[in-house]
Amino acid sequence: MDPITQELTSLILKTDVTRRPDLAEAGRRAFADYLASALAGSREEAVRRTAAFLATRKGERDILGFDVRTTPENAAFFNGFASHYLDFDDAEANLMGHFSTVIFSALLAIADPSDTFEDFLAGYTAGAETEGLLGKLVNPAHKKRGYHPTATIGPIGAAAAIARFRRLPLKEASELLSLGATESAGLGLEAGTDTKPLHSGFAARNAVFSYFLIRDCALTSSTSAFNNDDGWAAVTAGKTIAEGALSKRWLSPGELISPGLWMKKHQYCSAAIPGAAALKSLWKKGVTLDVISKVIFHFPPGKSYSLHYHAPKTGQQGRFSMEYVAWQILTKGDVDDDLFRLAKTPAAFIRALPKFGIKEDLPPAGQEVRRIIVTADTKDGRHFTEEILKPDGSPDHPFTKGDLTKKLAAASDEAYAEEMITLLSGRPSMKELLSLLSEAPRHV
């Protein structure tokens, strides 16, 4: 085992949140948001069809939102797919992707009533830390090269989470990480299709299946997946990791704390949230679509990359379009999530496209920074400039317990949401959590 892989694996296995209430609280909040995203996604037709497909593959594990039991790896796949389907789940700037959807889906697929909630949170934290630190290492070049980090780094993070949750020995844990690294795959071009959320499902499924291969089949894998010659970072990004670098940053303060998670009130890419907040402020000042002649979205260099659909043809593509989000707000005063379900974007939006523009003319900013300045010119000659530095759901303005309850209630019902948030606010057993998850509203 090379020194870097040994260092990373040891850090994962030693992760403990019992003396880090800030990390434990971040994990609880992330799980509530994950559950809300999964239950909301379970209403979608593509997700329903997938649930019906898995109903023919019987097993002992529940899936979220349906009265279906399937195999653990299929449950991990489905919950990952459902929780990422609407792009409603949380995101993190260093990863430039989504780790909760993958990690929680993998952990739930193997969780038993006899497990502890503390180990569950420790597994999540270890997986999140692994993904964030690797994302910091390889991004933004990794994402701009065309990879989808949720798919490429997600299997590694889920493997790390399982290794910690199941307290694997060092050798077996390093082999599981190696399997996660060798399954690193996913193209960013799938944004705006059903395959982007499938990436989350694949990552969770592969981590769970790999765990069973290690546990039950005694198959071998390299124990040097992160060496600096031909390891994961060297091969995928041409990067090396200095000895001790991971230890220096590990949980100091932690990826869940800094840069922290972006959570969403609407179902579009989190990269657009600062711009959407600025547009809502302008709307309140009377800046609406019918009075403007031009709106420009100003980004730091490279920061508009995720919002690459400038003239989306479908609502699903519109989740990754600053212009489509802007058109909704300037027309309605807020985002209408139903418009992301349209097979064809409205003609009124297409007619409005010449009013919108994107410039990457702000000063360079760090990977963890999300900044959008919106400028608007009106037909009568007025000029407006707006920037919201701490929009709702950002790490600097996180969701309140009320926000999380409201999001979960919208995906289930008020009574269930309040019961789940109350349970998560305490120190539940895994038996209690799994029992309440089994009572979530389900589709026939």
- Distance from C-alpha of 76 to C-alpha of 98, rounded to nearest angstrom: 15
Residues 196-204 have a mean pLDDT of 99
SS3 383: strand
Give 256's DSSP letter: I
What pLDDT was estimated at residue 119? 98
| Cα–Cα nearest to 32, from 320, 429, 405 | 405
- Interacting residues of 361 by C-beta distance below 8 A, sequence separation 6+: 298, 299
Q: What average pLDDT does the structure give for the chain?
A: 98
- Interacting residues of 54 by C-beta distance below 8 A, sequence separation 6+: 63, 68, 70, 74, 78
Whether the predicted pLDDT of 444 surpasses 80? no
User: What's the residue count for the chain?
Assistant: 444
Cα–Cα–Cα angle for 76, 432, 70, rounded to 5 degrees:
25
Determine what percent of the chain is predicted with pLDDT higher than 90.
99
What pLDDT was estimated at residue 182? 98
Report residue 151 as tokens: 């798919």
Give 376's DSSP letter: E
Q: Give the strand pairing for 69-70 and 292-298.
A: unpaired
Contact 398, 404 (CB under 8 A): no
The enclosing H or E element of 144 equals helix 141-144
- Distance from C-alpha of 86 to C-alpha of 88, rounded to nearest angstrom: 5
Task: State pLDDT tens for residues 250-259.
Answer: 999 999 999 9
pLDDT band at 443 (very low <50, low <70, confident <90, very high): confident
- Distance from C-alpha of 330 to C-alpha of 268, rounded to nearest angstrom: 16
Whether the predicted pLDDT of 37 surpasses 90? yes
Contact 297, 304 (CB under 8 A): yes
Task: State pLDDT tens for residues 285-341.
Answer: 999 999 999 999 999 999 999 999 999 999 999 999 999 999 999 999 999 999 999
| Cα–Cα nearest to 34, from 126, 128, 114 | 128
Task: State pLDDT tens for residues 366-408.
Answer: 999 999 999 999 999 999 999 999 999 999 999 999 999 999 9
Place of tokens 């038993």: 112
Whether the predicted pLDDT of 224 surpasses 80? yes
Determine what percent of the chain is predicted with pLDDT higher than 70.
100
pLDDT band at 145 (very low <50, low <70, confident <90, very high): very high
Whether the predicted pLDDT of 271 surpasses 90? yes
Give 259's DSSP letter: I
- Distance from C-alpha of 220 to C-alpha of 241, rounded to nearest angstrom: 24
What pLDDT was estimated at residue 230? 98
- Interacting residues of 223 by C-beta distance below 8 A, sequence separation 6+: 1, 2, 5, 171, 174, 175, 178
Give 443's DSSP letter: B
| Domains contained in the chain, CATH given | 3-263+401-438 (1.10.4100.10), 270-386 (3.30.1330.120)
- Distance from C-alpha of 251 to C-alpha of 248, rounded to nearest angstrom: 9
Whether the predicted pLDDT of 20 surpasses 80? yes
Which pTM was predicted? 0.97
Give CA separation, 399 vs 45, 271, 390, 405, 440, in Å.
28, 17, 12, 10, 22
